[in-house]
Structures are given as C-alpha cells and as structure tokens.
Amino acid sequence: MPKKYQVPVKAALPRFKPIGKYTTIEFREDCAGSCRKCVKKGCIYNIFKDDYKHVAHMAEPEYLYACQSCFRCVQECTRGIFSRVINPEYRSLGDDYWEADVIHRTWYQAHTGKIPVSGAGYRGPFVGEGFDSMWTDMSEIVRPTRDGIHGREYINTGIELSRRKARLSFSEDGTPVSEMLPVFEIPIPVMLRQPEFGVLSENVLQAAVRAAYFLGTMFFINPEYYSANLAQFADCLVPCLSRHNYLDFLERTPGIRMMELSYDNETGKIISGLRALKTGLIISAGVPLNSEAASRAVELAECGADTIHFYADSRGRELDSENPRFIKEMIREIHLRLVGNLIRNRVNLVFSGGIAMAEHVAKAIICGADGVTIDIPLLIALECRLCYRCKDGNACPVKIGNINPDWGKQRIINLVGAWRNQLIEVMGAMGIREARRLRGEIGRSMWFEDLERENFGPIFGEKKVSGLV
C-alpha cells in the first residue's frame, strides 16, 4: 500500500499508570470456582489477563484503563460476584469541555493507535453541546465505497494548502499560458500546533515536530521556540509571525516552505510583497475567530492568501463575544460567505480550537473547513491530565518535560493515525473517496438546532425554540 494511504502505528506504553474510569471489586468468597467458561476468560479486552485463580477473599480494587465499559463481566457472571464503581480520581480529570472520557480515549489512541470503542458523543435520545448537536448521514454504511465491486479502493485524506487558480489557459499546442502556481499538499487534514500552555520543553517540541515531519503534515510554532535543533525539520514548520518580525525570520531560516502572518490592516499589502520576494512560499494568515472573521476571510482571499487560519478559544468558542457561538457555526458562516462571493475555491480554510476527538475533524470539514489544527490533544497524548498546575507554576505530576522525544513522537503518530482511520470510516460510510469532496457537504449532516426549529418552531415560536425567552 502506498505510504500516503497509511500511517504506521505501534504500541507506545504509558510511563505512568493511567487513571482508569472504573474500579472493579470482586467478591471472590462467593465464587463457586467451577464455571467452565469464566467471564474473566471471555473478556475481549483481556483486562483480567491470566488471573483466573479463585481465592477466598475480596480482591483489592483495580482501576481499569483497558476496560471499555461493556459490563459483560458484571452481567454474565453466574454468581454475581463483580461490582463496578467510578474511580474518584477519574472524575477530577480535565474540565467541563475536555472531559475525562475525552482524555481517557486520547490516552488509549496514543498508546495503541487503535480506534476506541465508544460512541460519537450522543447522549441517549437527547443531545449535548458543540459538535454533539450535529449528526452525520451514513448513507452508504451497508456498502462503503472502498469495498466496491472493483476491489478495495483508496480513500484519499490529502488536502492542499496552496492557492488554486480559478481556471487555466493553454495555447494551441497545449502549452500552458496561465501562471502555474506551486501545489503544496499534505496527506492528512490534521495539522499540529504549539500548545498555548503546558510544559513546552525542548523534548516536547522535538517530539511534536518529529511527528509532524514523519506524518507529512505541518507544525505551527512561535518563532521564539524555534532553535537550531529544529532546522532539519524546516519543511514541516510554519512560523507564526507578525509584520514586525517576518522579514528577519525568513532571512535566518531559508528552508521554510510555509509561514503564517497574524492579521492586521497591513496583512493584504504584506502578502503582495511576499509574493514578489519569495515566489514559492505558501502564505497563511492567522485570524481571530470573531464576528468579523467572515469579512476578513473575503478580504484575505481577494488579497491572495493561500490559507486562512482561524483561531477559536480552547473550547471552540467565538472570541470577543458576550454570547459566543461554537466553532461549527462559525465555520459554516465563513464558508458560505466565500461561496456567496464566488471565491471559495481560491483559498483554504483551517480552524483551531475545540478539536478534541476524531469525529470533530470530519464534522469541521463537513461544515466547510479544509483542515484543522490540534494542540491540547498533543499534550494529552503525552499523558497530560489537564490539571493546569503548570499554569500556576507548579510541577507537572507526569513530568512531561522529561519525556523521550522518540516515545513522544510515536504517541502523537498513534493518535493522528487513529484519527485518520476514523475519518476514513466516516468517509467510507458516506461513499466519499476524497477529503476535498467532504468539504461543505452540509447535506450529509443534520443539526439539532435546525431540526428543533423546523419541528417545534411553528408550535412554540421561534424565540422560545432558540432559547431567547
């Protein structure tokens, strides 16, 4: 299989014992010890391993990391000796957005590179916030495209970060007359970004940059963290610069293929000047995701930016707003604004903030994004527990700063590989072979807000349905 269609994963064992969700209590004094098929032996996750001895005492509680909460052992034990309770330490992980379940699944994917056994976030007949209020339409789930009559077909997850011309012109002999712009493609629609907080030691940055380089994707880095040790990975680095320091940085780092300019009133003029200064440079504009984001997207697309990178907060919310919208609504608004101005295909849209799970990647693309960047999931892959002690200047409980860069690299590769496989599953179930084709496919999704408005608006009124009264 071509390398562009796969991400090689291998187990990267945790350095510290992960915090499991459940603790099992086993009342072994009630065990008959005569079952031919003990439920321990039938555990598909092998959490009991080879411990099938029946000792006449109550076992010590064990916090289970591998357990996927099927509760088969509890339900099928003929003697009813098993009991499960929530680990109290598990409840303290993360916060109300980066929940313990998200952290737990991220640890598992970084460890194994496998897809976790979990749902898509939907809570019974109701719905949660953020991306949980958006469902995807798996219209081809019974016969995915990649398993067609002509054998297994590849599903391409690659995207472009370079600018595309609206049309090409050729002479009578077939020679292109139009200017041929450089094509810059990455194999996955997931890029890595330097976290805004955490223990960002040289080892941590080395791990993340090496992973990005191996995956063929890009890593967005602040210039003050760039060092000579990272020069060999310049191909995958995107320095986040301002109009005050971009010229100096580019002179010192000639190997950079892509850069990002933070948005201000002069960004359009700077982009034009950079085109003349460095022809093959891919230019991204970093823009806050606020009420003016859609207008700025139109402006930058017309000024010649290759990519526009929008930043939401860590929970995927709109910036500088008393009633912030979630990132999915903002993506949809910006995408449709560019479509309405007939310039959507001129520029690529990348979004940061609130991308916590693999399903968020697919949903962001459906809303209109070309790709996403992740930062906090990188820390979690390195065993971060989101205790936020580092923000207060306290020591990290899992000593992230001392990690082996090779170990950290593999953990991040495993995470991205598991996310990519889940994206492929979603695309296959929709009958879509190209990630580019998934972009803006709103018809392949259902939004709780829209369904509620359509069904209950005529009954209760628009204001009540929208939560305004």
- The CATH number of whichever domain residue 62 belongs to comes to 3.30.70
Q: Which residue has the higher pLDDT, 334 or 452?
A: 334
What was the pLDDT predicted at 317? Answer: 96
Least confident among 108-117, 349-358, 370-379, 443-452: 443-452
The better pLDDT of the pair 304, 139 is held by: 304
Q: Which domain holds residue 69?
A: 22-91
Better-predicted residue by pLDDT, 125 or 460? 460
- pLDDT category at 461 given cuts 50, 70, 90 is low
Q: Is residue 187 part of a domain?
A: yes
CATH number for the domain that contains residue 278: 3.20.20.70
Same-domain check for residues 87 and 168: no
Q: Say if CB 448 and CB 125 are below 8 A apart.
A: no
What is the arithmetic mean of pLDDT over 127-139?
81
Tell me which range, 82-91, 167-176, 434-443, 457-466, is most confidently predicted by mean pLDDT: 434-443
- Which whole number is the average pLDDT over 100-121? 84
Please compute the mean of the pLDDT values over residues 436-454 and round it to a whole number: 85
Confidence of residue 54 (pLDDT cuts 50, 70, 90): very low
pLDDT the model gives residue 242:
92
* Residue 380 falls inside a structural domain: yes
Is 8 part of any domain? Answer: no
The percent of residues in the chain predicted with pLDDT above 90, rounded, is 46
Give the per-residue pLDDT at 123: 54
Q: Is residue 419 part of a domain?
A: yes
- Give how many domains the chain has, as a whole number: 2
In a domain, residue 205? The reply is: yes
Kindly tell me if the per-residue pLDDT of 443 is higher than 90.
Answer: no
82 in the same domain as 205: no
> Does 121 have pLDDT greater than 60?
no
Residue 125 has what pLDDT? 54
Please give the residue that has the higher pLDDT: either 207 or 115. Answer: 207
Lowest average pLDDT, out of 208-212, 223-227, 335-339, 441-445, goes to 441-445
Q: For residues 452 and 151, give the distance between their C-alpha atoms in angstroms, rounded to a whole number.
A: 41
pTM across the whole model:
0.87
**pLDDT band at residue 53 under the 50/70/90 scheme:** very low
Query: Are 77 and 174 within one domain?
Result: no
The residue-averaged pLDDT of 28-49 equals 77
* 71, 91, 111 - which closes a domain: 91
**Does 135 map to a domain?**
no
User: How much is the pLDDT for 431?
Assistant: 82
Residues 179 and 73 in one domain: no
Confidence at 51, pLDDT banded by 50, 70, 90: very low
Q: How far apart are CA 114 and CA 43, in angstroms?
A: 18
Judge whether 113 lies within some domain: no
User: Exposed (0-12), middle (13-18) or buried (19+): which is 323, by Cβ within 10 Å?
Assistant: exposed
Q: Can you tell me the mean pLDDT for 187-204?
A: 93
If asked whether residues 325 and 436 sit together in one domain, one would say yes
Q: 165 and 47: one domain?
A: no
Q: How confident is the model at residue 62, as a pLDDT? A: 55
> Which pLDDT band holds residue 149 (cuts at 50, 70, 90)?
very low
Bridge partners, 469 (sequence order): none
Q: How confident is the model over 228-281, as pLDDT tens digits?
A: 889 899 999 999 999 889 988 888 888 889 999 999 988 988 998 888 778 789
Residue 128, domain member (yes or no):
no
Q: What is the pLDDT of residue 148?
A: 44
CB-based contacts of 403, cutoff 8 Å, min separation 6: 15, 203, 204, 207, 382
Per the model's pLDDT, the better-predicted residue between 113 and 126 turns out to be 113
